[in-house]
């Protein structure tokens, strides 16, 4: 795995199509469902939302514009702040708790599509039993309160002391800076961290370049692609406890 890489003391996961599999989604259908949920919530709160068609169009144009800017700048936007800006212009006034619930309603249709391994909680718990630190590093504009709620529904939020989402920074994967930040927050050297993700170009390759161990999980995003020679290939999270334990037990410190 390279001279800089040593015993694994922490595992950092990507979120989408790694911890949770979303697969290929129909964006237009999801957007419509999210729009309806959020619209009806605002109406129930007595907020000035206007015509549903205009509400959809206003949000769609704002999101597409911000996604385009993200592609240009290489940094994600905070969807919660965007929701406040879009709806604030029409006179919507909510408490912070209501704003976060509104953000959740935009995410909920996608959340319901997500599928986790049946033994995910046991697998993650198995990694903790090995004494490993666990974290999450994901490219996303979905607000942390929504993702944390999803993790709670999966019953695994307690295991991840570090959760880093790209919209919280001015850079995102594969920028090496975000991997450096992840290592600092986890509290381990890159060479003692295993990064697990589903994309070669945004997860595995940059993690290896940062000096981390890396594992590519089977997903539609890497189907038919060659796995980098220095990375492991896994089909399920369930494989990780044994993989890490075997590697660490056979690791020989050459320093």
Tens of pLDDT, residues 25-52: 888 899 999 999 999 999 999 999 999 9
Averaged pLDDT score across all residues of the chain:
94
| Cα separation, 253 vs 6, whole angstroms | 7
**Cis bond upstream, residue 118 (ω within 30):** no
pLDDT in the model for residue 250: 87
| Cα separation, 186 vs 176, whole angstroms | 16
Indicate the helix (H) or strand (E) that contains 144. Answer: helix 144-154
DSSP 43: H
> DSSP of 170-204, one letter per residue?
S--TT-HHHHHHHHHHHTS-GGGEEEEES-IIIII
pLDDT in the model for residue 190: 96
| CA 4 from centroid of its chain's CA atoms | 26
Strand order in the sheet with 213-217: 162-165, 133-138, 10-13, 193-197, 213-217, 232-234
CA nearest neighbour of 135 among 159, 167, 170, 166 = 159
pLDDT in the model for residue 252: 65
* End-to-end C-alpha distance for the chain, whole angstroms: 15
Non-local (6+) Cβ contacts of 11 within 8 A are 127, 132, 133, 134, 135, 193, 194, 195, 196, 240, 244
Give me the half-sphere count of Cα atoms (radius 13 Å) on the Cβ side of residue 170.
0
Q: Where along the chain do its domains lie?
A: 10-22+116-250, 27-113
Q: What is the mean pLDDT of residues 83-98?
A: 94
pLDDT in the model for residue 7: 94
Predicted confidence band of residue 255 (pLDDT cuts 50, 70, 90): low
Give the model confidence (pLDDT) of 184-242 as tens digits. 999 999 999 999 999 999 999 999 999 999 999 999 999 989 999 899 999 999 999 99
SS3 sequence of 76-109: CCCHHHHHHHHHHCCCCCCCHHHHHHHHHHHHHH
pLDDT in the model for residue 2: 41
CA nearest neighbour of 148 among 195, 104, 189, 88 = 104
Asked whether residue 131 carries a pLDDT value surpassing 60, the answer given is: yes
What is the value of pTM for the model shown? 0.92
CATH number of 10-22+116-250: 3.40.50.1000
pLDDT in the model for residue 174: 95
What percent of the chain has pLDDT above 70? 97
Give the model confidence (pLDDT) of 61-88 as tens digits. 999 999 999 999 999 999 999 999 999 9
């Amino acid at each position: 795995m390279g001279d800089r890489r040593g015993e694994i003391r922490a595992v950092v996961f990507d979120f989408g199509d790694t911890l949770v599999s979303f697969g290929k989604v129909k964006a237009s259908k999801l957007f419509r469902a999210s729009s309806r949920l959020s619209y009806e919530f605002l109406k129930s709160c007595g907020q000035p939302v206007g015509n549903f068609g205009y509400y959809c169009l206003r949000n769609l144009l704002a999101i597409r514009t911000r996604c385009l800017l993200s592609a240009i700048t290489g940094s994600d936007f905070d969807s919660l702040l965007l929701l406040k800006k879009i709806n604030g212009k029409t006179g919507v006034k909510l408490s912070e708790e209501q704003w976060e619930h509104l953000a959740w309603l935009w995410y909920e249709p996608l959340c319901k599509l997500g599928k986790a391994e049946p033994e995910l909680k046991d697998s993650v718990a198995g990694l903790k039993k090995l004494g490993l630190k666990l974290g999450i590093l994901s490219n996303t504009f979905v607000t942390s309160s929504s993702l944390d709620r999803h993790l709670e529904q999966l019953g695994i939020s307690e295991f991840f002391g570090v959760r880093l989402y790209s919209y919280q920074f001015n850079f995102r994967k594969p920028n090496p800076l975000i991997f450096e930040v992840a290592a600092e927050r986890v509290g381990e050297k890159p060479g003692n961290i295993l990064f697990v993700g589903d994309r070669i170009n945004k997860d595995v390759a940059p993690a290896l370049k940062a000096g981390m161990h890396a594992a590519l999980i089977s997903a539609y995003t890497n189907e038919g692609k060659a796995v980098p020679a220095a990375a492991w290939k896994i089909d399920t999270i369930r494989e990780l406890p044994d993989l890490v334990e075997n590697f660490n037990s056979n690791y020989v410190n050459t320093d």
